[in-house]
Structure 1
Amino acid sequence: MSTRPLAPGELDEWLTATAAAVGKRAYDVAHRLIRMPASASSVHTALGGRTVHAFRESTTYALILLETGAADEAAGILDRVLDGQDLDLVSDTYGIWPYYLEEPLARMARPDTNWADFIGQELVLIMIRHAAALPDQLRQRLRTAIAAAAEAVVRRNVPMSYTNIASKGTFVTLGAGQVLGDPELTRYGRERIERLAATVHDTGSFAEYNSPTYWLVTCTAMSAISQYITDQRSATIAAELVDRLWRHLVQRWHLPSGQLSGPMSRAYRDDLGEEPHLLAHLAKAVGGQPPFDSALERVGDSPAALGLIHTAILGPDAPADVVRQLVTAAPPTMRRELFSRDRVGSTWLHAKNTLGTINFADCWFQRRNLLGYWGANDAWRHPPRSVRLRVVKDDVDFVSAIFSAVQEGPHALWHVGFASPGGDHHVHRNVIPSGEPVPMRSLRVLFEIRGVTDPVIRVNGAPGNSFTLHDQVTVSDDGSTVSIIPAGGSWNGSPPAGRITAGANGVLTVEVELFSAPEPQPIDLSSLDSAYVGGAFSLLPNGETAASPSVSMHAAGNQARWSWTPDAHLELTGRTTVGTVEEHGDTHTATIDRQPPAIPPPTK
C-alpha cells in the first residue's frame, strides 16, 4: 500500500477496495468460497492449521462483491453459503452454520451457536442494502435463512452481559423482523435492545469491558441498528449505546504509545497494531488525522481484513469530543470505571507510560488484568513496549487463578489466589470439580515484558537473574522502569521462587514459581493448606521511584492483608487458602488512604 486516501469518502473506497482485494486473493472459484487456514486456537473445530473453506468469511466477501457491483459472483457465493445452514426445525443446531465446508456441524468439536449471529448479520445487511440486485429465487432463500438464524438467536436468548453477541443478535432479530415483515421478531428485538440498554445503564459501562475485538463487534452492531433499522425506538437506543461505547473506549486510549491501556475483559492480542479493523474504525472516526493515517499501514492481507467492509458501510459516529481526545495528548490522569456490579477498572495515563488493572477477575487467557505500555511519541511501534501479568499452569493460562488489585497512579498492589471448583484453560469448559486432582507440572505467575531492546535488569539494585520474596526486581528500558516486588506467598507451606528469563520473540519474563515438578503430579487444589502470592508493581519513568519500596503483609486465618505506601496508602486483602470464586470475592477488599477507591457515578 503506497497511498492512503484519508478523506471520509475516499477512505471508504480504500477500505472497500482493500477488502475486495483480500477476498479476491483468497477466493476459490471452484468451491465458490473463501479458502483460508482453519483457526488453530478455537475449541469448536478439530481442523486447526488445515486449509479450509470458510462460510462466515465467504458471506462477508459476498457483501463486499455486492458493494462493488459484482452481483452475479456474489449470488454464486451466497447460494453455496446457504447450502451449509442447518434448516432442520427440531435440530439443536437449527439456524446455524459450521465454520468450514470440510467440517459439517455433526463433525465439529463443538458447533458455535454464535454463527447464527455472525452470518445472520451479513445476510441482513445484504438484504437491506442489495436485495434488488439479487435473483428472486436467491432472495427467497435468503429470507428463509434469515428467519432460521433469527429463530436460533431467539431460542438461545443469551444474557445481556454477553455484550457482543447480545448486540449482534439484536441486530439480526430486528433486521429479520424488518426484512420479513414479521412484527413478532421486531417486538422481540425491541424488547431485547431495551434489556441490553438497561444492563449497560445499570453501571454505565459494559460487562465485556475494554475489549479491542468485541468493542468493535458491539459498536458495529449498534451502528447498524441506528442506521438501518426503521423501528424508531430501537434505532434511538442503539445511537445512545454507540455514543456510550465511544466514551468507554476513549477513557483508556493512550496516544503516546498508540494503544488501549488495560484492563481488558476479552483480548486476543497485546498490540493494537494487530487489530486492523479497530484501527481502521478509529482512523475513519478522526478523519485520517495522525497518527491514524499511518495506522492503516498495519492493515494486512489476511482474510480478517474482509471485515474492513463494515467500517466502510457503517459510519463510526464518534462524538466530537471523543475525536478530540483520540488525537490530543492528555495531562496525567487517573481513571476508574465501574464495568459491572463487582468489576472496577483503574487506569493511569501518563505522557510516557500507562498502567491498567482490574480489581478482581479470573485469569482466563483473554483477560488483561494487569497491563501496561510505555514509549512517548511511539505510536504503532511493533511490538509495543508492554508488560502483562499471566498465571499459567503447564504454560497455559489457568482460569482457576483469581487476581485482585488496588491501584493509584502508576503503583498497584496485586494478589493471586486459587479457586475450587474452577476452570482449567476455559471459563465455561474444562471445569475442575472441587476435590478432583488435576495433573500439574508447573504453576507460575508471569510478568511478561515485550518490545524491550536493551533492558537494564536489577535485583535490589544489582545485576541478577533470580530473586526471592521481598526482593525488588526492576527492568528499565527507553525511559521507563517496571518494578516488581513479590512480598509474600506460599504453596502448601513452601515459599515461591523467582527468576528472570529471556525467551523467544524478545519476551523478557519475571517469573514467580509456586510449584514445579519433573513430571506432572496429581494436584487437588482444595486439599492445599495455602496457595497464594502477592506484592507490589510500578511502571515509572526512569529516575522516579516509589517513596516506600517496602511492602508489608499480615497473614491471619485464611486472609493476607498487603499494605504499601508508594504515594497514597494502598491496602489489599485476599485469600491465602483455596476457596470458591464467591469466597474469594467475599474476602477481597481494597482501599486507598483507607477509603474504597472513588468511582465516578455512571452516566445514565
Structure 2
Amino acid sequence: MRTNGKWTTEWVKALSAWHPQYDEEARLLRKPFSSPGYHTTLKGGLVHPTRESLVYAVALLDSGEEEHRSRAFDIIDRVVSLQDTDRSSPTFGIWSWFYEEPLAMMSPPDWNWADFCGKQLLLAAIRHGGAFPPELLERTERAVLNSCDAIIKRDVGPDYTNIAIMGAFVTLIAGERFGEARCREYGLERLAKFYRHTKEQGTFTEYNSPTYTIVAIEELSSIATETRLEDAKVMVAELLDTAWEMVAYHFHPVLKQWSGPHSRAYRTMLNAGTLTFLQMACGGNIRLLPDERLEFGLTWYGNDIRCPDKYVPYFLEAGERERAGTIAKPKDGAPPRTATMYMNGAFSLGTFGSEIMWNQRRNLLAYVANGDGCAYVHLRVLRDGYDLSSAVFAGVQRRGDVLYAIRFATDGGGTHPNLDPVNGVVRASDLRIRLEIGGSREGLSIDRREGAVDIRFPGVRMRLVPLHGTLGGATAFDWDVADGEDTTGVDLVLYAGEPREFDFRSIPDACFVFALSISESDIASTASINPTADEVECRLVPEKGGDIRLTVSTKPDTIAELHANVKTGRNDP
C-alpha cells in the first residue's frame, strides 16, 4: 500500500469497522456463518473464524496504537492454542475454519489454513516481534514453523496458483527471519518452480480469476516487500508483471467489470473491495468508486502493491480488445486449454474452450452496458438449484459470437470437482441449463420465439439459438423464464418432477448445443448443424462474414475424453 494520507485514513476506517465484531470472552471475532458449501459441516448461526481473527490481530498491531496490543495478543494466543501440534496427526500444523468446529468435525479439513494462518502469524512476528511478550513470541514462531512443516509435507504444485505463492511466502520468509535454512531453501525452490511453470504456460493456472489473481498479487507483493534474496525479487517482479497484464487487459473501463472467462470466482460482479484495490494499486490515477464507497482491505497495509505504469491506460481507455489462445499446456497428452475474450465499448464476452461447470467457473460470461448500469450474462447448469460440477462445457468464440455445448461426465463431482464425486450418477428433481442474467436488468426484455430466444437491453441485443438437444433419446424440452429477486434465468428445462437418477454411465446420448450472438445492432447470424450417430457438427456464420465451427461427441464420457473430443475452427472475414 502506498502509505499516503488518503489511503492510511481509509485503512483506519476499515479497521474501525471490525471492532464491533470482537468477542472479549472467546478472544476471537464473532461473525455470521458463511462458507462456499464445502469443508465445513456447520449450517448457520454465529461463528468464531480463525483466519479473519488473525487478520484483525495483525491490523491491530499495524495500527501502532498501544491500546490495541493487548487485544491483538489475546487473539494470537487463542489461535496459536487451536493449532494441531500433534506430529503424529495427519492434520499437524493446520487450524480449523471455526472455533465451533474442530478439525475432526470438518469434511474434510482445509490444509490451506496452514498457509493462511501461518502467514498472518509470521507477519505479526516479523513486524511487531519486539512488542510481543517473550513467551507468546516463542509460541508464535513455533506455530509458524509448524505451519511450514505442514506446507512442506503437502507440497502443493505450481498449478494451485494462490496457495503455491502463499506457501512460498510463509516458508521462504520464515526461513529467512527465523534462521531456518531448510524452510528458506524450500520456499525459494517452491517460488522458482512456480516461476518456471508460469513462464512455460505463459499465464497462471488459476487463469483470470478476479478472486485469486488479487490474492496472487498480494502474495507476490508480500514476498517482494519482505524478502532479502535478490533471486526471489527478480522472479517476483516478472510474475507480478504477468498478473497485472492479465488484470488490465481484461478490465472493462466503461462497465468497471473484469471480463471473463474466469477460472475461479465467488461472485460475478466486482465488489467495492476489488475496485478499491485496483484504484489504490494504480496510485489514484484511475477513479472507479466515489470516496464514500471505498472498501479498504486490512491485509494491504505494509505491502508495496502497485500496478506497473504501462498497464494503467488499460483501466482508462475503452477501446476494442480481443484475445484468443492457449492458457495451459498439459504434460499428460491432454489437449491445451484455451480461452477467448472480446470487448468493445458496450459489452464484453469471454469463453473457455473446454471446462467443467463448477460453480466457481465462469465458462461463458458476458457483461453488457445497460444505461448507466451493467448487466451480466452467465451460463450455468443447475441440479436442484445448484451448479452441477460434472456437466462439461465446450465452446468456440469469435468477437460477439459463440457456439457452445453442454455434455455430462461419468467421473465428475456434484457440487465440487473433488469433494463429492457422483461418478456419473446424478440424482435430481430439477435439471436445467440456465443463461442467468443479473446486475442491472432495467429495460430487459426476453422474447421466446420459434427457434430462438431474443434478449434485449437498451442498446445491446442477444440471440440464443438451441441447435441440438438429446438426453437418453429425448429431444423435446421445455423453456422457462425464471424471474428472481436478483436474477432472471433463461432456462432450458431438462427435467422437473419427482427425484430420479440420471445414470450417465448408461445413457447413450446427452448433449446440448447452442449459438449465442451479442451485438449493438440487429443480429443476422445463421447457424447450421450436422448430427451423426456419435457427434454433432455446428457452424455459425455472422452477418459480416467468417465463421466458427464446433464438433463434439454426444455420448457421456470421462472428463478427459470429453475435453479431448472437441474440435473447433474459426475463420475471420
TM tier relative to shorter chain? over 0.9
Kept in 2: contact 1:243–1:317 (CA 8 A): no
Deviation at 1:389, TM superposition (A): 0.4
Task: Give the match for residue 398 of structure 1.
Answer: 388
Deviation at 1:426, TM superposition (A): 0.7
Find the partner of 2:514 among 528, 532, 535. Answer: 535
Task: Give the match for residue 154 of structure 2.
Answer: 156
Task: Give the match for residue 503 of structure 2.
Answer: 524
Q: How does 1:8-19 map to 2 (within 5 A)?
A: 9-19=4-14
**Corresponding residue SS for 1:161:** coil
Task: Give the match for residue 415 of structure 1.
Answer: 405
Deviation at 1:578, TM superposition (A): 0.6
Q: Quick one: distance in 1 between partners of 2:46 and 2:263?
A: 31
**Corresponding residue SS for 2:232:** helix
Q: Quick one: distance in 1 between partners of 2:245 and 2:572?
A: 30
**Corresponding residue SS for 1:281:** helix
Deviation at 1:586, TM superposition (A): 2.0
Question: Measured at CA, do residues 240 and 377 of structure 1 come closer, stay the same or move farther in structure 2, by a change above 3 Å?
Answer: farther
Find the partner of 1:456 among 445, 452, 468. Answer: 445
Task: Give the match for residue 371 of structure 1.
Answer: 365
Find the partner of 1:297 among 270, 276, 293. Answer: 293
Find the partner of 2:134 among 136, 141, 145. Answer: 136
Task: Give the match for residue 499 of structure 1.
Answer: 479
Kept in 2: contact 1:213–1:267 (CA 8 A): yes
Kept in 1: contact 2:59–2:299 (CA 8 A): no
Deviation at 1:309, TM superposition (A): 1.9
Query: What letter is aligned with 1:492?
Result: G
Find the partner of 1:277 among 266, 273, 279. Answer: 273
Q: How does 1:50-61 map to 2 (within 5 A)?
A: 50-61=45-56
Task: Give the match for residue 20 of structure 2.
Answer: 25
CA offsets, 1:15-45, max 9 Å, x none?
4213311221111122211110122433122
Question: Measured at CA, do residues 10 and 544 of structure 1 come closer, stay the same or move farther in structure 2, by a change above 3 Å?
Answer: farther
- 1:166 equivalenced with 2:125 (yes/no): no
Query: What letter is aligned with 2:274?
Result: L
Task: Give the match for residue 447 of structure 1.
Answer: 435
Q: Quick one: distance in 2 between partners of 1:81 and 1:309?
A: 18
Task: Give the match for residue 528 of structure 2.
Answer: 552
Task: Give the match for residue 429 of structure 1.
Answer: 419
Deviation at 1:140, TM superposition (A): 0.6
Question: Measured at CA, do residues 8 and 136 of structure 1 come closer, stay the same or move farther in structure 2, by a change above 3 Å?
Answer: closer
Deviation at 1:296, TM superposition (A): 6.4
Question: Measured at CA, do residues 48 and 267 of structure 1 come closer, stay the same or move farther in structure 2, by a change above 3 Å?
Answer: same
Q: Quick one: distance in 2 between partners of 1:571 and 1:159?
A: 35
Question: Measured at CA, do residues 65 and 476 of structure 1 come closer, stay the same or move farther in structure 2, by a change above 3 Å?
Answer: same
Kept in 1: contact 2:359–2:387 (CA 8 A): yes
TM (norm. structure 1) is 0.89
Deviation at 1:280, TM superposition (A): 2.2
Question: Measured at CA, do residues 445 and 42 of structure 1 come closer, stay the same or move farther in structure 2, by a change above 3 Å?
Answer: closer
CA offsets, 1:483-529, max 9 Å, x none?
1001111111111424241422142221112233x211122111112
Q: Quick one: distance in 1 between partners of 2:342 and 2:267?
A: 20
Deviation at 1:569, TM superposition (A): 0.9
CA offsets, 1:431-478, max 9 Å, x none?
1225xx432223211001122112222234xxxxxx5xxx12111112
CA offsets, 1:265-307, max 9 Å, x none?
110101102xx432222011222344324276063xxxxx6xx
**Corresponding residue SS for 2:115:** helix
CA offsets, 1:161-191, max 9 Å, x none?
0111111111011111012201111110111
Q: Quick one: distance in 1 between partners of 2:462 and 2:143?
A: 53
Question: Measured at CA, do residues 192 and 296 of structure 1 come closer, stay the same or move farther in structure 2, by a change above 3 Å?
Answer: farther
Task: Give the match for residue 333 of structure 2.
Answer: none
**Corresponding residue SS for 1:313:** coil
Q: Quick one: distance in 1 between partners of 2:463 and 2:91?
A: 50
- Further displaced range: 11-20 or 395-404: 11-20
Q: Quick one: distance in 2 between partners of 1:391 and 1:91?
A: 39
Kept in 1: contact 2:480–2:493 (CA 8 A): no
- 1:321 equivalenced with 2:310 (yes/no): yes
Task: Give the match for residue 257 of structure 1.
Answer: 255
Kept in 2: contact 1:124–1:179 (CA 8 A): no
Q: How does 1:108-257 map to 2 (within 5 A)?
A: 108-257=106-255
- 1:312 equivalenced with 2:306 (yes/no): no
CA offsets, 1:237-278, max 9 Å, x none?
1121111100111121111111001100110101102xx432
**Corresponding residue SS for 1:422:** coil
Task: Give the match for residue 580 of structure 1.
Answer: 558
**Corresponding residue SS for 2:4:** helix
Deviation at 1:585, TM superposition (A): 1.9
Q: Quick one: distance in 1 between partners of 2:431 and 2:391?
A: 10
Deviation at 1:110, TM superposition (A): 1.9
Question: Measured at CA, do residues 396 and 511 of structure 1 come closer, stay the same or move farther in structure 2, by a change above 3 Å?
Answer: same
Task: Give the match for residue 34 of structure 1.
Answer: 29
Q: Quick one: distance in 2 between partners of 1:14 and 1:347?
A: 37
Deviation at 1:568, TM superposition (A): 2.2
Q: Quick one: distance in 1 between partners of 2:376 and 2:499?
A: 32
Kept in 1: contact 2:482–2:491 (CA 8 A): no
- In the alignment, structure 2 segments of 5+ residues that lack a partner are 330-335
Find the partner of 1:357 among 336, 351, 367. Answer: 351
TM (norm. structure 2) is 0.94
Kept in 1: contact 2:283–2:306 (CA 8 A): no
Question: Measured at CA, do residues 118 and 272 of structure 1 come closer, stay the same or move farther in structure 2, by a change above 3 Å?
Answer: same
Q: Quick one: distance in 1 between partners of 2:222 and 2:2?
A: 22
Task: Give the match for residue 105 of structure 2.
Answer: 107
Query: What letter is aligned with 1:373?
Result: Y
Deviation at 1:418, TM superposition (A): 1.0
Q: Quick one: distance in 1 between partners of 2:283 and 2:238?
A: 22
